[in-house]
Amino acid sequence: MKKAVFPGSFDPLTLGHFDIINRALPLFDEVVIAIGINADKEYMFSLEQRIDFIKKTFQNEPKISVTTYKGLTVNYCKEINADFILRGLRNPSDFEFEKAIAITNRKLSGIETVFLLTSAETSYISSSIVRDIIRNNGDASILVPKIVLQ
């Protein structure tokens, strides 16, 4: 069974994440969206809210589940028997950053990282831009699933 972990902060889930997750579905039997918990990081949305956005957005998709984890992503993958890490690439700087992590993860654990290129329509979207818009009372409706705005 092909199981992938899609790790991230998802603060909040955006249409960029949504696009990558949907395009990963034909490739894997199961996609676990795993929210990494970092005690030193400040988040705009609580962990419960971030889980809720993802659960509601994918409520009709049985291949997708949502979990949280602490520590190294590869250790979490081993724990739940996932052989793949899924990541999205938007631009060359994503690639440079992700490349070093993916090679390190493979050396540490043998786990392969599968990269999907974002679609052109969502390549400019990032959670940090969404947070900026929301913080300043702007309209983020073209960037996030509807549930995030409710």
Question: What are the catalytic residues?
Answer: 17, 41, 90, 127
Using rule CB under 6 A, residue 12 touches ligand ADP: no
Q: Does 34 bind ligand ADP (CB under 6 A)?
A: no
Alpha helices in 60-126 (DSSP H): 73-79, 92-109
Residue position matching structure tokens 């249409």: 15
CA 137 to chain centre: 25
Q: Which residue has the tokens 């974002």?
A: 118
Q: What is the distance between the alpha carbons of residues 85 and 21, in angstroms, rounded to a whole number? A: 12
Stretch of residues binding ligand ADP (CB under 6 A), selected from 4-12, 24-32, 101-109, 133-141: 4-12
87 lines the binding site for ligand ADP (CB under 6 A): yes
The only residue of 22, 49, 109, 126 in contact with ligand ADP, by rule CB under 6 A: 126
88 in Cβ contact with 17 (< 8 Å): yes
What is the nearest approach in angstroms of ligand ADP to the Cβ of residue 16?
2
Applying CB under 6 A, which residues contact ligand ADP? 8-10, 14, 16-17, 20, 87-88, 90, 94, 118, 122-123, 125-127
